[in-house]
Amino acid sequence: MGSSRVMDTDLGSNDLAGMVIRNRQDRDSRYNKGQAWQSWSAGPVPEWVLLVPCEGVPFYTNYKAYIPTPGGKRKGFYLACRCENGRNPGAPCLLHDIWRKDSAARQVGRDWRGNSAKPKSKSPYFPREYYGITVVRWSYFHYVPEVEDQGDGTIKIAMRWQQCKDDRSDAELLEDGVDDTDCQLCTENARIMRAVSRVGLESYCRSASERDGQWAREHRRDFGMRRYMNMGPGYFDSLVNAGRELSRKCRCGGEIKTVRYVCPVCRKKKPEAPTVLMDPRTTTLSPDEVSVYWSREVKCPTCGYRGAPYEEVRCTAKCGRPSPRRLWDQPIKLQKQGEDTTTLAVLEKMADIIDIEKLPDSLKKKCVPYNFEEMLSTTTAEQAELLGIPDPYTAGRTDEEDANGDGTVKPTMSRSTRYET
């Protein structure tokens, strides 16, 4: 377990009851380290996406907890765990320390701040496991101006990406026209472009509204939008199970049979006798554990490798190069079912296998995995700031002790950094 230095500070005092709560946009930007990373999740309407796996292990494992506000009068926020829920004791973590203190306090009807709580209730600060993966939304998008009411009698026009409801290319739209399109943005763009073609861009912008003028100058239509998913256990398991069903098909069309799972490092060194990590015929794992074994991080007892196992397979069609189809070999159509913590990912449809190297450069550069370690990692100083409390790990540090030169403890890299992208 990690260090509990937070136990030595008076975190339960009433002086700390007034937690610093920032607005939602500020919290999100802090958690996502700016606007370069934006999340996406499937909705009730199916959408085409391409999953882009991380290097080493397809999904990035991370831990976070939903932090409620005092009294529950405002929305809480998510706080990242630094110590992998105690699995990395070398990384000091305020979230894990507070969870242990809160759990102990609830045994006697208090929370970690000293406020009353239901006796022996479960602490909400327990870090849950999440799984990150890069997503490319596989459709066209319009870059268009949106008029935003500022609430003080003024408006602001900002450019935003909005999904196009027509899957035809620009050339096809130009040739076919937009009379039969279901996309209002395509119709609006055609109206403005016709006017521009008649009088010229500058003349049109002088006479048009500010919004239409900005549309004429800056509108563009592009394919693909890079986002990421960070899934809870239920959603993740449903997606992985769908991937397992898909992996029973070989790329040649035959059926795939798993022979065993071996260490990829040992396999390169000794291809004739690699370290066997799991044999489906003799394993004591449950059928559910076996079905998702291909997506999990494992540790080799021989060389110490940590990462995804190598799956040795055979094809019933005897194609000579058996290769299971994976979730990320082709665009898939995802849909969400359920609400809140019971949401499931439903693989409604899949397209043909694609070769990313043959995609246009503008699209290929979007099919690169995010650096989740950079995106989701945090420091104790950031944890303390979001919680509105002093950081006991950095308080009183001298310049010589300052690991980062900015008053923060240098993060201890977790095992996931080995798959940095």
Judge whether 361 lies within some domain. no
Q: Which residue has the tokens 């027509």?
A: 166
Same-domain check for residues 283 and 399: no
Domain boundary among 226, 256, 275: 226
- DSSP letter at 335? E
pLDDT for residue 36: 53
The amino acid sitting at 8 is D
C-alpha to C-alpha distance for 360 and 375, rounded to whole angstroms: 27
Give the burial string for 392-420 (b: 16+ CB within 10 Å, else e). Answer: bbbeeeeeeeeeeeeebbebbebbbeebe
Same-domain check for residues 124 and 146: no
Same-domain check for residues 194 and 124: no
Same-domain check for residues 40 and 114: yes
Helices and strands (H, E) in the chain, number of each type? 12, 13
Q: Which residue has the tokens 């003799």?
A: 282
Same-domain check for residues 218 and 279: no
**Domain coverage including residue 145:** 137-226
Same-domain check for residues 207 and 277: no
pLDDT for residue 158: 92
Same-domain check for residues 163 and 268: no
Same-domain check for residues 106 and 189: no
pLDDT digit string (tens) for 209-264?
999 999 999 999 999 999 999 998 888 888 888 888 888 888 888 998 999 999 99
Which residue stretches of the chain have pLDDT < 50? 1-35, 398-421
Give the tokens for residue 227: 């986002």
Domain boundary among 324, 359, 388: 324
Same-domain check for residues 123 and 145: no
pLDDT for residue 104: 92
Count of CB atoms situated within 10 Å of the CB of 155: 12
Same-domain check for residues 121 and 92: yes
Domain count, the chain: 3
Same-domain check for residues 265 and 201: no
Give the tokens for residue 336: 């969400």
Contact 281/266 with Cβ under 8 angstroms? no
Judge whether 52 lies within some domain. no
Nearest CA among 57, 1, 83 for reference residue 305: 57
Judge whether 312 lies within some domain. yes
Domain boundary among 324, 355, 378: 324
Judge whether 194 lies within some domain. yes
Same-domain check for residues 164 and 114: no
Rounded to the nearest angstrom, the gap between the alpha carbon of residue 129 and the centroid of all alpha carbons in its chain is 12
The amino acid sitting at 395 is A
Judge whether 55 lies within some domain. no
Judge whether 19 lies within some domain. yes
**Crossing angle for the helix pair 210-218 and 184-199, to the nearest 10 degrees:** 90
pLDDT for residue 72: 56
Judge whether 220 lies within some domain. yes
Judge whether 242 lies within some domain. no
